[in-house]
Structure 1
Amino acid sequence: MSENTSVLSASVDRGSQVGDSPFDRIRREDEQGEYWMARELQEVMGYDQWRRFEDSIERAVRSAENTATYSDQAFCRVRQEGTGGAPRSDYRLNRYAAYLVAMNGDPNKPQVAAAQSYFAVRTREAEIATNRPMSELEMARKYVAVLEREQQLAKELEVAKPKAGKWDAYCNSEGLIGMTEVADIFGTNVKTLTNWLVEINLFRRQVSKAGGSRNLPRTTSQNSGHFVVKTETNNGVIFPVAYATPQGVDLMADLWGRQTKE
């Protein structure tokens, strides 16, 4: 798969500034800034099992979504080469995302308390640093980045234009398409489809208070106009249901097609 699930090489350069803290030693840096790999954070935060540490990441994601601070760039889900070269799930976490993961960790672990303290200090340092005036070079880089993003958006909109009306036959009265209908379009079943959407970070697995779980669009996927979540009732039970917009089906068709070619 492509997008956020591309395979990362294990030889990514470390950050240039390495301190005595174990969190400094696993800190990395690139043109986008400093970041930490979740698998490495798992070890220094005292977690033996990835599954339990990933629970902390999911809680951090929900915290970010509930405060409208979530971004795919902060919590970038990736594929990393594991033991024997087999790919495994990982996350590229920026400083803010790593801080939220630490705050949502097991409070009984002293390593988690150390992580909370470390990232609180790093966040404060960053806040102080942002108060300094930008240099001309930094301003120029930001300006170029904005122009490049605008050009990319224009290209995406141009590509999407000819597809308008392509899925009208599958739309309900509200212009939405159920995930079962989308699965039929792709020749698969709805469980396989929504699990795949979780893998590529368009959906997330939401656990209900009753213990069940549903795969539902992330807030960013809804805000982008690709998916809608509606509340429905059956036999007195209220539950959320995911729908795709025609633009959402276009997006899935493109990504699904790339997957089948790989």
Structure 2
Amino acid sequence: MANELSNNTQTVFEQLKKLDEYGNEYWSARDLAKTLEYSEYRHFLPVISRAKEASAKSGQNIADHFEDILEMIPLAKGAQREVESVKLSRYASYLIVQNADPSKEIVAQGQTYFAVQTRIQEIQQMDEYNSLSSEDERRLFLRNELAKHNTQLAAAAKDAGVIKPLDYAIFQNHGYMGLYGGLDAKGIHAKKGLTKSQVILDHMGSTELAANLFRATQTEEKLRRENIQGKSNANKAHFEVGKKVRKTIQELGGTMPENLPTAESVKQIEKQQAKQLKNKKNKDDK
């Protein structure tokens, strides 16, 4: 998914992106306010304040992501006027759309765009991930990341009221159904030709694992950010996130996850690597 989603897709939010004199990307708060359908910039200022607060709570330095600037806006007859604005990093823009009016369709589109692109950037910036040269290595890395984030997702779901194992299985199925076009775990097993005992995640390639990693991380964040309570609301949230990820893949021309090839078990790769390490150690000890 990371490779497919990083294609040069010109959404309205991509078109708003600017580069400063050092080649760093940024977005103008004035541009975002207009695109997100705020009638006046002053009505957008509380959104910026909430985004700054969210940035601080996450341990980020506000100054690294929000820079007060002056920019020129056009007036009648070719005139211009200098106005206050804010230079926003991608992360700041992500927080902006997360704190904007959720009833607007353009805000929902912005949330999907910045969430997907921010996650891609996070993966691409991982030195460990960038050093991986083979599909097997990428699969192992993403499978371990997904295992970690699934634990965090389970904790967030528990806080929302998903307590019993059966309830959590239903919760997980809602995420799958959103991402896999209505297929639950049983349906995915059938589509992929897996037996009941085989773990779906162990037989995914890196693209499919990345899609599911994004589903898990964004659902966890949504549950906590919106303080979602109740099993049905948690299930709905998981389904909605999965559906948004699927829609993004579709818009970018990617292969739907249920149609991606079934890979050999990642456990076999782990065994092979463990054996190679053991043989290397024995050789070095001689």
TM-score (norm 2): 0.39
Higher relative contact order (CA 8 A, sep 6+): 2
Which of the two has higher C-alpha Rg?
2
Q: Whose strand proportion is higher, 1 or 2?
A: 1
TM-score, L = length of structure 1: 0.42
Structure with the larger helix share:
2
